[in-house]
């Protein structure tokens, strides 16, 4: 069965209103969830609503947050998310970065006391209409082991960068610092599929192709996979994301990120507040006339589109191509959800006595 | 034969003075070269002097540059390096970033019309003594093929991040966005060794273990190696470094980076000026009291040092550990150069009628 943007947006909005969000805030959150579905990143879409439901039931999510700036300079701000759903804290943080960058040229915002915020690319892309480059980082559930280790000390810690172009659509990179996003392992679990080797290891550090191994003490590997192929670089990247997101803001770092999944225990020690994010907005014309930059960006994109493929391989993609094409398809044909997810969401809707069903 | 810091510094200084640099500028350049040797990154050390010699002989390096800021806001600057040796343009850019960040909280500097600048970590580390986080990116010789392609459109485009800690030494990540740095392939070529598979492909895109394949039209792979293991993420990273370094500054992007190696032709079309870099300096106390941050950073480091290793694997390292330990060893025991490199450098010294020999 296929759903329209409106159907998914209404359901998500209704759910977040039901658990206490204002209508305006529920709409902001639904925008992010539905953007994930539209862009073909179902792993970060409505499949995550049950996690929010369980966190809310456990009293671990504040649906009436008083978010505020706690420190600032002309080109920086620190925001306390007051344990809001991550989408609210992130949208507020990126709005702040954009507002302040229009004065100072750039602005960098560290956010603590937040939660899982969905797709990082959404916030980076908020900068585009202002002729700014947008950047968004976040730490996440501790499920990644640094090189040589079995200890789960880092998250999949994604990096998103959005860059405006001229005649071409923007460059939008949004990727985890692991070979595969955790959400894609979740999808494999729900579909009952195995994964390739090189994504996860078991609790003793042996290679595994079981996407459910994280529930059994296994860990994800950093981008690069093994030491010989640069996993220490993936570890450096993930560590950098963690430090900028958590240590500048005062959020929980690494193993102290509050888990958004039920199979991870709450961290015993409290080394910071909630999940941490880091946002950047850079005005193009702080560096170069925006028109000139966009022309150069168009040339960049043309150059990469003209790259020669390895025989039998597809054409070179510009970051954002796949998601944008999927968005167009979603507009026309609607979106599918995994049947098990639909059942789970309808069960939640019924438990909450919501008027809406999928 | 082993050389002291002073011997290598004197030789490098003498070489750059001989090709026209002022004594002060030659000393700045020698600092960077010798830091690479001290830190065990010989691939970015004196082995690169011949490249500078050949560029200078070809009239492609300006040893008497007039570098200047061409545009700025409170938190940004654009610098024209006037085709200086990269170390001069980079040190001037990072000095500018640090100076302006002390006012605005952060500062971001894009530099065009520069050249190869040695180890990126050197410039990121300049921020540490100011209680700032330092960031340094650069584009480089077009030798990396984007995912699916045989066209060499990107460089190894490194990322360096330096973060101050308290009782512990700083966190210093400095890594190329490829499984292995190009310099390490060069070392393998000079030693006559093969490499592992997963670093390079031949001109048709087939896997190769020949480190010299770049001279035969082959390409390096992005971090991740193949699509299934996340090479598109390495491509995104490398592309982001290229865009921030070249498109914000007006330098040559991707295939238009002027090559620092003789086996690459000069780009025919001119799509920007020289090599591009991007620098950031962020005042810690723009976000959080510096003491509090450093305590948190010490906890972060302690947490990662206590990680449990996979059986038979070494302990988890903190980024910067290896280079710092090597620096201590270099201080005590001096540094070795590859015999073929010593011969080449002495031949150059003799051609230039330098007073110094190795």
Shortest Cα distance from B261 to chain A (angstroms)? 22
Shortest Cα distance from A353 to chain B (angstroms)? 42
- Domains in chain A (CATH in brackets) are 1-63+334-358 (1.10.1530.10), 65-179+221-319 (3.30.1370.60)
Nearest to A286 among B73, B282, B313 (CB): B73
Residue whose entry in the numeric block shows the structure tokens 């990143």: A41
Q: Each residue of A303-322: b (16+ CB within 10 Å) or e?
A: bbeebebbeeeeebbbbbbe
For A78, nearest residue in chain B (alpha carbons): B287
Q: Which residues in chain A are closer than 8 Å to B231, comparing Cβ atoms?
A: none
Supply the pLDDT for residue B182: 86
For residues A76 and B102, give the distance between their C-alpha atoms in angstroms, rounded to a whole number: 12
B149·A178 Cβ contact <8 A: no
> pTM for this structure?
0.97
A106·B319 Cβ contact <8 A: no
Q: Which residues in chain B are closer than 8 Å to A146, comparing Cβ atoms?
A: 304, 307, 316
Q: Which residues in chain B are closer than 8 Å to A244, comparing Cβ atoms?
A: 133
Q: What percent of chain B has pLDDT over 70?
A: 100
Strand A68-73 to A76-80 pairing: antiparallel
Shortest Cα distance from A74 to chain B (angstroms)? 6
A179·B229 Cβ contact <8 A: yes
For B316, nearest residue in chain A (alpha carbons): A148
Q: Which residues in chain B are closer than 8 Å to A242, comparing Cβ atoms?
A: 300
Kindly report the average pLDDT of chain B as a whole number.
95
For residues A175 and B237, give the distance between their C-alpha atoms in angstroms, rounded to a whole number: 9
SS3 B4: coil
For A222, nearest residue in chain B (alpha carbons): B224
Supply the pLDDT for residue A8: 98
A149·B239 Cβ contact <8 A: no
A76·B180 Cβ contact <8 A: no
B148·A239 Cβ contact <8 A: no
Q: How many CB pairs under 8 A join A and B?
A: 276
In chain B, the DSSP E strands lie at 2-3, 68-73, 76-80, 106-114, 132-138, 159-163, 171-175, 200-201, 207-208, 219-220, 275-283, 335-336
A309·B196 Cβ contact <8 A: no
Nearest to A248 among B225, B272, B288 (CB): B288
A313·B104 Cβ contact <8 A: no
- Summarised one tens digit per residue, pLDDT across range B240-249 is 999 999 999 9
pLDDT in tens, chain A (358 residues): 799 999 999 999 999 999 999 999 999 999 999 999 999 998 899 999 999 999 999 999 999 999 999 999 999 999 999 999 999 999 999 999 999 999 999 999 999 999 999 999 999 999 999 999 999 999 999 999 999 999 999 999 999 999 999 999 999 999 999 999 887 898 889 889 999 999 999 999 999 999 999 999 999 999 999 999 999 999 999 999 999 999 999 999 999 998 877 788 887 777 799 999 999 999 999 999 999 999 999 999 999 999 999 999 999 999 999 999 999 999 999 999 989 899 999 999 999 999 999 9
Q: CA dist B246 to A5, A207, B236, Å?
A: 38, 40, 15
For B304, nearest residue in chain A (alpha carbons): A153
Nearest to B240 among A161, A234, A283 (CB): A161
DSSP-assigned letter for residue A149: B
Shortest Cα distance from A212 to chain B (angstroms)? 18
- Summarised one tens digit per residue, pLDDT across range B180-225 is 988 789 888 988 999 999 999 999 999 999 999 999 999 999 999 9
Shortest Cα distance from A121 to chain B (angstroms)? 13
B236·A149 Cβ contact <8 A: no
- Pair A81, A69: CB distance under 8 Å: no
In B193-240, the DSSP E strands lie at 200-201, 207-208, 219-220
Q: Which residues in chain A are closer than 8 Å to B230, comparing Cβ atoms?
A: 175, 178-180, 223
Shortest Cα distance from B150 to chain A (angstroms)? 6
Q: Which of B303, B224, B304, B311 is nearest to A205 (CA)?
A: B311
DSSP-assigned letter for residue B63: S
Shortest Cα distance from B23 to chain A (angstroms)? 32
Q: Which residues in chain B are closer than 8 Å to A303, comparing Cβ atoms?
A: 153, 253-255
């Amino acid at each position: 069965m296929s759903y329209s943007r409106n159907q998914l947006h209404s359901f998500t909005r209704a759910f977040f209103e039901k658990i206490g969000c204002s209508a305006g805030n529920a709409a902001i959150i639904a925008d992010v969830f539905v953007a994930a579905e539209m862009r073909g990143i179902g792993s970060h879409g409505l499949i995550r609503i049950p996690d929010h439901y369980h966190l809310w039931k456990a009293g671990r999510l504040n649906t009436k947050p008083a978010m505020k700036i706690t420190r600032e300079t002309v080109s920086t701000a620190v925001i306390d998310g007051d344990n809001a759903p991550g989408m609210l804290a992130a949208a507020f943080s990126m709005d702040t970065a954009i507002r302040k960058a229009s004065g100072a040229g750039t602005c960098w915002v560290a956010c603590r006391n937040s939660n899982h915020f969905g797709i990082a690319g959404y916030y980076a892309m908020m900068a585009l209409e202002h002729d700014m480059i947008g950047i968004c980082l976040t730490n996440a559930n501790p499920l990644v082991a640094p090189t040589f280790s079995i200890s789960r000390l880092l998250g999949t810690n994604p990096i998103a960068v959005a860059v405006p172009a001229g005649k071409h659509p923007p460059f939008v990179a949004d990727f985890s610092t692991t070979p595969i996003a955790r959400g894609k392992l979740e999808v494999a679990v729900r579909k009952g599929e195995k994964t390739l080797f090189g994504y996860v290891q078991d609790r003793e550090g042996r290679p595994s192709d079981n996407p459910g191994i994280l529930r059994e003490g296994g860990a994800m590997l950093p981008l690069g996979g093994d030491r010989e192929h640069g996993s220490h670089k993936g570890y450096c990247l993930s560590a950098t994301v963690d430090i900028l997101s958590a240590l500048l803001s005062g959020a929980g770092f690494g193993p102290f990120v509050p888990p958004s999944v039920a199979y991870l225990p709450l961290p015993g020690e409290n080394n910071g507040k909630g999940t941490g994010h880091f946002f950047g907005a850079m005005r193009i014309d702080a560096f170069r006339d925006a028109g000139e930059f966009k022309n150069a960006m168009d040339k960049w994109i043309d150059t990469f589109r003209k790259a020669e493929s390895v025989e039998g391989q597809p054409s070179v993609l510009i970051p954002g191509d796949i998601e944008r094409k999927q968005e167009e398809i979603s507009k026309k044909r609607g979106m599918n959800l995994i049947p098990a997810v639909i059942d789970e969401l309808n069960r939640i809707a019924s438990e909450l006595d919501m008027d809406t069903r999928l």
